[in-house]
Amino acid sequence: MTFRFIVEEKAGNREITYEMRGAILCGYTGRDHSAVQRHIEELKNEGVEPPPSVPTFYPKPPQGMVLEGDIQVEGQETSGEVEYILLVDGNSIYVTVGSDHTDRELERINILKSKQVSPAVLSKNLWNYKEIKDNWDQIEIRSWVLMEGKRTLYQDSTLGTILPPEELIRSVQQRVKGSLEGIAIFSGTPPLLTEKIVFTDRFEGELLDPILNRKITVDYSVHTLDWFKA
Whether 11 maps to a domain, the answer reads yes
pLDDT at residue 230 in the model: 67
Rounded Cα–Cα distance for residues 35 and 30 (Å): 8
Q: Nearest Cα to 214, choosing from 151, 148, 146, 123?
A: 123
Number of domains in the chain: 1
Domain containing residue 185: CATH number = 3.90.850.10
Alpha helical stretches, state H, 19-163:
33-45, 104-107, 111-116, 129-132
Whether 229 maps to a domain, the answer reads no
What three-state secondary structure class fits 88? strand
pLDDT at residue 167 in the model: 96
Whether 94 maps to a domain, the answer reads yes
- Asked whether the beta carbons of 20 and 67 are under 8 A apart, the reply is no
Whether 148 maps to a domain, the answer reads yes
What three-state secondary structure class fits 24? strand
Whether 230 maps to a domain, the answer reads no
Rounded Cα–Cα distance for residues 80 and 126 (Å): 20
Sequence-distant (6+) residues with CB within 8 A of 89 are 16, 18, 181
The pair phi, psi for residue 85, each rounded to 5°, is -130, 135
Using CA atoms, how far residue 217 sits from 206, 212, 214, in Å, is: 4, 15, 10
Could you read off the pLDDT of 33-63 as tens digits, one per residue?
Answer: 887 887 777 677 777 777 788 899 999 999 9
Whether 121 maps to a domain, the answer reads yes
Whether 162 maps to a domain, the answer reads yes
As averages over each run of 10 residues, the pLDDT of the chain (230 residues) reads 96 96 94 81 74 89 93 91 96 97 90 91 98 97 91 96 96 94 96 88 96 96 83
Whether 204 maps to a domain, the answer reads yes
Range(s) of the domain holding residue 122: 2-224
